[in-house]
Structure 1
Amino acid sequence: MQLLKYHKGALLSGKNNVNLIWYGKFKPSQRAIVSDFITSLSTSTPSNAHPSVANGKSLTQKQIVQLASKGEQRNAINVVLTASDVAVDGFCVNRCGTHGSSKGAVIKGKTYKFAYIWVGNSETLCPGYCAWPFHQPIYGPQSAPLGAPNNDVGVDGMVINLASLLAGTATNPFGNGYYQGEADAPLEAASACPGVYAKGAFPGYAGDLLVDKTTGASYNAHGTNGRKYLVPALYDPSTSSCSTLV
């Protein structure tokens, strides 16, 4: 019996652009970490749809969707990234990011839905909740934090959450794809494997990761421009288990 049930809805397929929408104060080095990660997944360069659309220091989920709608809506995933000085409803309480869909533009008489993602930088608010294993965890077994591969606990944590949400968006973009449980709180491709990053993982231990001999940082994936990243395990329906890169 498969853990993730298919609910007969549309999935993302073919070529989809990832549009990055930055909200708040990000350093150029931080933008480069995320942009290089997206580029590592594709042959094309991500579109920095709005380099900066910052006005306030707090956002509601409705405002997140409004920001996401500013990006291209057909064949696209619009990713809203909020900086460490921005508070978002539910952030650090019960979420590190979200994904969903919303009605978009009317093209040739047809209303299109677009997929979006939001991820926040938890560095100042809750790194133990949203940037583990690069910070001491708030809950559960306590273990020493691992070195962040790009030397930025907050943004390296964002990459983990972004990778998880991209997997969820591809396989359950409109809430009726592959998931288990309730539609408004689904268990998805990556969230079905919490805290697993390499073989040998168990609660409080991310797994037997690769270690950079120079910096001592932990990682499991190589990216463009010589980058190293940590990405979560994904549920593999062919084996009914969590699949890791290392």
Structure 2
Amino acid sequence: RIFNFVDEKDIVPIGYRHTDWNIKLRHVGMLIFIDSKKKGMIDQHMWGGYQFKNGNLQVTKESLVQFQQAKHAYNMLIMREQVKNLEQLKKKFTASGGGLSSGEQIYLDDSQALAVVSHASSEFETAMLSVVIVYQTGIQNAEKLWTETLTDARSIGTDLSEGEIKSALAEGGCTEQSIVTEPVNEYKEKKNKAKKMAEKFQQLAQEIRSKTNELVQRDKELANQLKGLVS
């Protein structure tokens, strides 16, 4: 996916964020709005207003949320696609009852089987790590939000008991159940689903590697074709 970084203090992209959202302006990719500082006209257009923190480009909170959502969706897509690729590869291995004639060749997307598995494993593991980090961060943020909410309420209601403070918060819709328990349970459920997908992927990868080794042992011609790929 293409990300289009826009500095609204730059006169060139003025109008990208139109006040009338019924007007669909044409632009390339997803718009990411920069949290920039004011510079001269030329410097502003030449990225002079871009600000960085710990090596990361600073963007608006709105764009950060959109970017994280898009990145997460992309990682989930990669995971599903890699599992699908290995399922298709497994079918190729078992299409003829698990055996191959001396003239058969196994390819997937013009790549040898072991190369496909190796690439898929690398892509999947990277995406899986990013997905788990998103969920783990969500859990930490939920717990932090409840702690900060209680701290702020205690500083205001100094004459109230702990129970009275929580009751007052509950009247406003702020409870540990709504802020922590429900979101955390949802994050944990999603994380478990991602881990199950990872387990399925690893099982498929292992089955394909084992099948490859078995076929190589049984078919000398195939062994010559894959020679150098088997570690």
Normalising by structure 2, report the TM-score.
Answer: 0.21
* Greater radius of gyration (CA): 2
